[in-house]
Amino acid sequence: LGNADACRAFQAFSLFVKAKEVPAASRCPGGGEGVRWRCCRQAFEELPGIHRHVALHHSGDVGRQAGLGAAPAEAGGSPAGGPAPAGKAARPSGHSCNNPEISWALPDTSHVSHDDLTSIILFFLNILFLFAYLCHAVGSQVGEVLLYYCYCEVKDPEKLCAWQKALCQHLHLTGKVRVASEGINGTVGGSKVATSLYIKVMLSQPLFKNILCQEDFKSSAGGAHCFPDLRVGVFQEIVPMGIDPKIVSYKETGIHLSPQEFHREVEQYLSQATQGQSDTILLDCRNFYESKIGHFQGCLAPDIRKFSYFPSYVDENLELFKDKRVLMYCTGGIRCERGSAYLRSKAVCREVYQLKGGIHKYLEEFPDGFYRGKLFVFDDRYAICSNEDIISACRYCGVLWDQYKLCSSQHCRQLVLTCPSCCNKGLTACCPVCQEKELKVTSRASGQTLKEECECTRRRPRVPIEHVSPRMLDAGK
């Protein structure tokens, strides 16, 4: 639907609901003290109830009132109520294929009768009218955060970006969505009603048909409050590895293992490692601050700060992977898609496997499996847990602690693990140098704080060279 159609639809919807309102003078005890609307011999006390009823049962009436139930008669279209001429696509009135805000290719409807097409239009109207119902649920703290990605060929990323932004705004979702010619990668938060509708609309999108499925969406408790805002943009990659997708494609990825298959592989790996017979590397593809608070037992967790350093890490440690079976994993699976493709391109490993759906899906099936500690997430929650293990420590006193905070130094803002006791002592920066700088805030003439790289970050080797002996690898250390 175009913007003008959407406005007419919402106006007609509001008027239809208004017409069902029970006059205040008529709200007698016999009719129900709280009854405010009546429709189809049903009484409704709350606005979401009547909204849902009208959306599900009267979309046809509303559509006709809005003038959206008939195909245009001009420009060769058929008269209202008649079938579309053979070879011509009947379209909703007012729809523009070149809408500069949201332009999405219409499906070929030349083989569809007018009656069938009207039912298609009303299907989309149902979704549209349910947005009104959504508005009363988004304020609830009972919500969730979705994590998903889909690698596919996107011919017009800008168009997909515009549609995605409009969709998220309409559903009152916050989060981050990356769009590229190689696909889409998103994490969004909102009410459960909103996220459920988001999934349904995404699965109905022709671009993702037969590629994206319900299982590809990972959910966890949260909501719109988990993100400061909504950010949707077009990038070269949907996950920033720093390698042109045309050079290293997701199509060359490693072999996908289901959580059950991966669990069995890790079990076998740990069993063999204790006997010093393993030919496998269990590789964590995430950043150091992620694996620091949670990881699989016996894994190799590179001490890298960004995923864009991963290719260099592989290059500098090729000997480590020579003739090895590699089991890779990350949060939701997306980094393994390109990461495993890059590792395979070096032709040194015997086999490369990856955990389908990432740690997220593994924990759904094995909450007390081989993954210990918290799962780091890129939103204001910082972590979600499935077991009670704490595997990291306070930066200052060494007590077990795994709840991240932002470094208090305004020039840095890195993540820091500092326990309540140390926080109370004022130890709230990521390192002693930052702690000192916090006391001497460097500012511009305008008073705006300068942003500079943290000194402890600057000292960190960008690409660590692993000094791991075959014996240590065999022992799963």
- C-alpha span between 322 and 2 (Å, rounded): 56
- C-alpha span between 381 and 172 (Å, rounded): 19
Give me the catalytic one of 285, 330, 394, 422: 330
Residue pair 392/291 in contact by the 8 Å Cβ criterion: no
For residue 450, the one-letter residue type is L
Q: Give the neighbor-by-neighbor strand order of the sheet with 183-191.
A: 218-222, 143-151, 183-191, 174-180, 230-234
Q: What are phi and psi of 346, to 5 degrees?
A: -85, -15
The 3-state secondary structure of 186-216, one letter per residue: EEEEEEHHHHHHHHHHHHHCHHHCCCCCHHH
- C-alpha span between 77 and 73 (Å, rounded): 5
Residue pair 269/286 in contact by the 8 Å Cβ criterion: no
Residue pair 160/179 in contact by the 8 Å Cβ criterion: yes
Which secondary structure element, helix H or strand E, spans residue 267, and what is its range?
helix 259-274
Angle between helices 3-19 and 47-57 in degrees, nearest 10? 120
- What count of residues does the chain have? 477
Write the Ramachandran bin of 159: left for phi over 0, alpha for psi from -120 to 50, otherwise beta: alpha
> Can 330 be counted among the known catalytic residues?
yes
Active-site positions?
330
